[in-house]
Structure 1
């Protein structure tokens, strides 16, 4: 295990241990609401500091982009741009699934990914002027599950190799999703897509953690996943490496590659299922074109 991957796993483990120590001792009434139904607690902050301490101790010159903004953070530390000098950028979600955590629900995790800017397009590179995530780790301490991957070296869960499922038929596929809880105005549009996917698939599940959804897709528990909300880079950085190394693929809903900006995610175990799931979701009528985010393509006919 090289230094990037070992650091990603150690940082995710450090954050997860903070989560576990305080699990069941803090609820929604002990958290602050950043936005509609989007909570941050003292555990988020302590877990983030634990993860950042590991990264800074091992790679003091690397830049870090973490979910929770702190007083005194510089503009550079909040930048969504890849370092221009080709240096590494760590992307950290100290507690993905905070609402689950505050309610005692076991589906929450720590997620740590690392990448850097690419000069030319290559396998896994979001775009010619973008970057590529090199390694990632997701740790779910309540369930004892740990996923990790290094680009070009495969994906693993608890030390064993993992691969996406072989299901290619939509009517047999189990699909994961996420609700647009931060933007209630998107709910009616989301429900139209849901109404298309549900009867066409083998079932739809919502875990409440995009990091875990991507890992479930990577290990074959899910066969596809979509979320129309503007997911942040820390929600998906580690999961994208793990999914791609397990043989899956993920893009924005409009088929463009995923970068460091907020945006949608469409993931699947194969190009066939990715195409079909995308057709179903993009078939929503009356959507508004919104750049690189959700529903940025005109509706397709099915």
Structure 2
């Protein structure tokens, strides 16, 4: 059983960088006619599936005893083991990929005894590798990163994501969005939650919020933000958002203000 999580994180970052080359190659000739639908607005392509297969094969070599939680299910049924579990989103931002919008990422995290210990988000087209190890900090292309020290929402840049299902909450969500738009320097929507969280960690955003996410969307990003000095919770309480459906991430300084803004509308 390996105990050197730093070395393992570097091996994971290398695997993600190599796998990102495959995504870039496929993007150059991708045929939109090859997409499939997991839901009305939930797209998947052979690129998602093949990328996941490559990641799973590489991760099995790095840590044979680990289980898997994957978006596309190519590793078989999810196996959340007590000791080690990889959490994988092979292509976070599939809709962007399908439409040729070059913002998407690979997101991989490792749970050890139910605690996040490694997280890597590789932004494919910028070739930026965001990496975190529990207790050892966060990095972008091996340079240390840190959240900002901006103390108030009215001086911040915030990110979010738009729901692609459960539209019954859309009205409430738009009220929350409007509040953030009027109280901050602006709100951005890139289309990859993993990238959004990495950008909070790197000090490019002060905060991020979204609902209806899955563990594979946020696992690596949660660790990145925490190791970069930020704070991550659910919308209305301080519970762990990993297996919840909602997330607020921030530089820590304006976290309570973000939660209060959401609380004005969200029940």
Specify the TM-score bucket, using the shorter chain as the normaliser: over 0.9
Residue 175 of structure 1 pairs with residue 158 of structure 2 = yes
RMSD over aligned CA atoms reads 1.7
2:147 touches 2:202 (CA, 8 Å); kept in 1?
A: yes
1:7 touches 1:54 (CA, 8 Å); kept in 2?
A: no
Partner Cα distance (1:11, 1:241) in 2: 19
Residue 105 of structure 1 pairs with residue 91 of structure 2 = no
Residue 281 of structure 1 pairs with residue 262 of structure 2 = yes
Partner Cα distance (2:63, 2:7) in 1: 9
Partner Cα distance (1:100, 1:166) in 2: 31
The 3-state SS of whatever aligns with 1:221 is: coil
Deviations 1:73-102 (A, max 9, x none): 23xxx25xx523xx1110011000000011
2:241 touches 2:247 (CA, 8 Å); kept in 1?
A: no
What 5-or-longer segments of structure 2 have no aligned partner?
A: none
The 3-state SS of whatever aligns with 1:171 is: helix
Partner Cα distance (1:267, 1:279) in 2: 13
Q: How many residues align?
A: 263
Partner Cα distance (2:165, 2:22) in 1: 26
Distance of aligned partners of 1:264 and 1:20 in 2 relative to their CA distance in 1, 3 Å threshold: same
Higher relative helix content: 2
Per the alignment, residue 76 of structure 2 pairs with: 73
The counterpart of 1:83, out of the listed 81, 92, 112, is 81
Per the alignment, residue 289 of structure 1 pairs with: none
What 5-or-longer segments of structure 1 have no aligned partner?
A: 118-130, 285-294
Per the alignment, residue 34 of structure 1 pairs with: 38
Partner Cα distance (2:175, 2:189) in 1: 16
TM-score by length of 2: 0.93
Partner Cα distance (1:168, 1:183) in 2: 33
Per the alignment, residue 176 of structure 2 pairs with: 193
Per the alignment, residue 222 of structure 2 pairs with: 240
Partner Cα distance (2:67, 2:228) in 1: 27
2:71 touches 2:90 (CA, 8 Å); kept in 1?
A: yes
TM-score by length of 1: 0.83
Partner Cα distance (1:167, 1:201) in 2: 12
Partner Cα distance (2:173, 2:108) in 1: 28
* Deviation of 1:133 (Å): 0.5
Per the alignment, residue 13 of structure 2 pairs with: 9
2:218 touches 2:242 (CA, 8 Å); kept in 1?
A: no
Partner Cα distance (2:112, 2:131) in 1: 18
* Deviation of 1:257 (Å): 2.5
* Deviation of 1:3 (Å): 3.7
The counterpart of 2:203, out of the listed 214, 220, 238, is 220
Deviations 1:144-169 (A, max 9, x none): 21110111111111121100011112
Partner Cα distance (1:36, 1:276) in 2: 34
Partner Cα distance (1:267, 1:260) in 2: 12
1:135 touches 1:238 (CA, 8 Å); kept in 2?
A: yes
